Amino acid sequence: MSRRNKLQKFAEVLSFPNVYENFDASNPSLAGENGVQVDLKGKWQEVHFKNDQPITLELACGKGDYAIGLAQRFPDRNFIGVDIKGARIWRGAKTALEAGLQNVAFLRTRIEQLSLFFDENEVDEIWITFPDPFLRKGKENRRLTSPNFLSQYPKLLKSGGLVHLKTDDPTLYEYTLEVLAEQKNYTLLYHDDDIYAKPLPMPELEIKTFYEKQHLAAGKTIKYIRFQLDA
């Protein structure tokens, strides 16, 4: 993508009513439509969605394929795609606006800073769909299912809240199972190293992201883990 095209998208996304951006990680705050500063911590339902429906996050959402797919299937729930890449956020937000989806929004920020923008018990569910597995030695703590990140989710996830991981990467899959075995505040509910080899356990897994379609075309198997924050 050319620099000019990126700048055009960054300018356009500022006008979107379904996007909030944290531009400076060292001085975190949220800018909404037309750059207006907003405080949404503990207020996402009231201020943005204007309802009291449960909130689901898609972390490292990319173009928001899963957040959009879930929003289409579950109009009685709210969905927020989270990513740091502005061009990806632009695509997901534009798709949602074109589809008339009122129950999906996007947040541009580092995932490490989520607790700055969500209150305790504000999130009901988290989806982690095809994240970077960070396979290089010494990068394990950057995995979204590392102890580092798992210790952060309880700051915003309700007790009993679900976390889903969908991945093609066997290393990340096995790593996550190993980490969960050592966790005291999460319970492993389900895991499968080849979900399409049998009937799917839940219809949400039918949603396929851009990357998942590529992985399937390359002959890779898709893996899934579901776990729960203990009450």
Binning pLDDT at 50, 70 and 90, where does residue 196 land? very high
* Catalytic, out of 52, 65, 119, 132: 132
- In this prediction, residue 3 carries a pLDDT of 60
Q: What is the pLDDT of residue 2?
A: 57
Residue 215 has pLDDT above 90, yes or no: yes
Number of domains in the chain: 1
> Looking at residue 27, what is its pLDDT?
87
Mean pLDDT of the 59-77 span: 96
Exposed / middle / buried, residue 223 (Cβ in 10 Å: 0-12, 13-18, 19+): buried
- Does 132 qualify as catalytic in the annotation? yes
8 Å CB contact between 100 and 125 = no
Contact criterion met (CB below 8 Å) for 215 and 173 = no
C-alpha closest to that of 78 among 36, 107, 111, 38: 107
Whether residue 7 is predicted with pLDDT greater than 80 in this model: the reply is: no
Domain that holds residue 68: 3-229
Contact 44, 121 (CB under 8 A): no
Indicate the pLDDT class of residue 93, thresholds 50, 70 and 90.
very high
Q: What is the pLDDT of residues 110-136, one digit of tens each?
A: 999 999 999 999 999 999 999 999 999
Q: What is the mean pLDDT of the chain?
A: 94
Q: Can you give the pLDDT at residue 85?
A: 87
Output the pLDDT for position 68: 97
Residue 99, domain CATH:
3.40.50.150
Q: Is the pLDDT of residue 182 over 70?
A: yes
- Give yes or no for residue 208 having a pLDDT over 70: yes
- What pairing do the DSSP bridges indicate for beta strands 157-167 and 223-229? antiparallel
Confidence band of 12 (pLDDT split at 50, 70, 90): confident
Q: pLDDT at residue 140 above 90?
A: yes
